[in-house]
Structure 1
Amino acid sequence: MDEITFGRVSLTLPGLDEPGLYLSNVESLENGRGIVQDFQYTGADLRALDLADVQLLTGRIADLRAAQFRLSEVRVNSVVFDTADLGNARWSDSKLSRVVFRNCRVMGATLAGLTLEDVLFDNCRLDYCTFEKNRAVGPVVFSKCSLTEASFFDCDLSGAVFDDCVLRRTEFGKGRYQGTDLRGNDLSAVFGVASLSKVIVDRVQQADMAHALLSELEVTFGDVLDGDR
């Protein structure tokens, strides 16, 4: 298995180029046995993709477009999503292990009740997404992603990494963020700074966090009031 490192965290990537592994082209991700394995699913343009109680094991999903994308109780292991447009995805109660989302557009999605282990979001558009009750049980990395007005509620992101992401009006609600690495990001416009207990930041980010907190508290500076006289 290949690995990639971000700061103090190393992710195990899907081993899709291992000797002897052959990915068969499939026309659908649905299977009567509930298991799709050693597969390649490319170029689909769908009105809707609805999957429930399915296992996707070792494969690549590329150039996928789905106006509606609904997954429930889906186990995904060693899968790469490459250049996928997943519309207003609704993904719930699933486990993802060794999964990469690369150059994906998942705007306005709701991702709820997901267990994440060795999951990488790489150069993805995740604006306006809602992450709810998701749990990192292994490395999770957001790298060069846009998370404008995304929200995290009741999530356990302990040890997760945000690497060079856009966090404009991103909301960090109640949750666990111990050891979450936020170094190298502009934190001046995030919401929920008070929830970010025990995160990792650079010293230069103290001013960003102070600015974000003061904005959230709607503090008025005295010199502004004096100027109104």
Structure 2
Amino acid sequence: MRTSAVGDVTILLPDLDPADLDPTTDLNDNLNDNLSDTLVENASWRSAVLDDVPVRGSRIVGTDLSESVWEAGSLFGCEIVRTDFSGASLSGVAVERCVVTGSRFTGARLTDLRLKDVLFEGCRFDYATFTRVAATGAVAFVDCILTDATWSSCRLPKVVLRSCRLDRLELESCQLTGADLRGNSFHDLKTTLGNLRGVTLSDEQLPDLTRLAVEELGLTIRGQ
């Protein structure tokens, strides 16, 4: 069993052997097989539509899924590497025991996703919108770009963010109790203090937290 520890969280990872996977680049030929035990490399699936399709035990590498639409369905036990989801729309998808590395979600719309044992590493989520995304197990973002993104009505307790860029990330009505946000700059974070209730921070982040409090309370700070 493969695992990855990020902070105090241990994430179960897929354990795939490429030799056991069936290679393909044709999406339509594999929908009847539910994309199970498949190796997809350098495919062009731009604007693809996946409606309630389960994807299991598969490895997707260097594939263009920009502007694609994913409705319901699931991703289980998958590895996704250097894949482009720019402008994609994912709604109602359950993602479990997956690792996503070096992939691009610029401008993607992620709605009603359910995450459990998911690791995002070195991914871009700039200008992406997370709406009602919920974690039911361990979830971590490592070395990810979340600039100008929006998290709205998300429930991500105990999520871990490490070495991520959060410039102008906007939080709206989120529940992040128990989240570990150490190692990230809050300098341009756009949020009220309520969204940070119960999170774990480091000493170095206290000046940014103070700035947020001063702005929210409308305080005037003057010298004596």
Q: CA deviation at 1:213?
A: 3.6
> Could you tell which deviates more after superposition, 159-168 or 206-215?
206-215
- Computing the radius of gyration from Cα coordinates, the structure with the larger value is 1
Structure 1 residues 157, 32: closer, same or farther in 2, change over 3 A?
closer
Q: CA deviation at 1:46?
A: 3.5
- Residue of structure 1 in register with 2:94 after alignment: 95
More strand by share: 1
Structure 1 residues 217, 90: closer, same or farther in 2, change over 3 A?
farther
5 Å matches for 1:104-115?
Answer: 104-115=103-114
- Residue of structure 1 in register with 2:20 after alignment: 22
- Residue of structure 1 in register with 2:11 after alignment: 11
Structure 1 residues 87, 72: closer, same or farther in 2, change over 3 A?
same
Please tell me the root mean square deviation across aligned C-alpha atoms, in Å: 1.8
Counterpart residue type for residue 77 of structure 1: F
Do the aligned partners of 2:112 and 2:133 also contact (CA within 8 Å) in 1?
A: yes
- Residue of structure 2 in register with 1:40 after alignment: 39
Do the aligned partners of 2:41 and 2:62 also contact (CA within 8 Å) in 1?
A: yes
Structure 1 residues 217, 146: closer, same or farther in 2, change over 3 A?
farther
Do the aligned partners of 1:193 and 1:209 also contact (CA within 8 Å) in 2?
A: no
Counterpart residue type for residue 76 of structure 1: L
Identity percentage of aligned residues: 30
Do the aligned partners of 1:6 and 1:161 also contact (CA within 8 Å) in 2?
A: yes
Counterpart residue type for residue 202 of structure 2: D
Q: CA deviation at 1:139?
A: 0.5
Do the aligned partners of 1:116 and 1:138 also contact (CA within 8 Å) in 2?
A: yes
- Residue of structure 1 in register with 2:63 after alignment: 64
5 Å matches for 1:1-229?
Answer: 1-17=1-17, 22-30=20-28, 31-33=30-32, 35-194=34-193, 195-215=195-215, 221-222=221-222
Looking at structure 1, the residues matched to 44 and 218 of structure 2 have their Cα atoms a distance apart, in angstroms, of 46
Counterpart residue type for residue 5 of structure 2: T
Residue correspondences, number: 221
Counterpart residue type for residue 92 of structure 1: S
Secondary structure of the residue aligned to 2:47 is strand
Looking at structure 2, the residues matched to 63 and 172 of structure 1 have their Cα atoms a distance apart, in angstroms, of 31
TM-score (norm 2): 0.92
TM-score (norm 1): 0.90
- Cα deviation digits, residues 102-150 of structure 1 (max 9, x gap): 0011101110000000111100111011101011000110100000011
Looking at structure 2, the residues matched to 216 and 127 of structure 1 have their Cα atoms a distance apart, in angstroms, of 25
Counterpart residue type for residue 127 of structure 2: Y
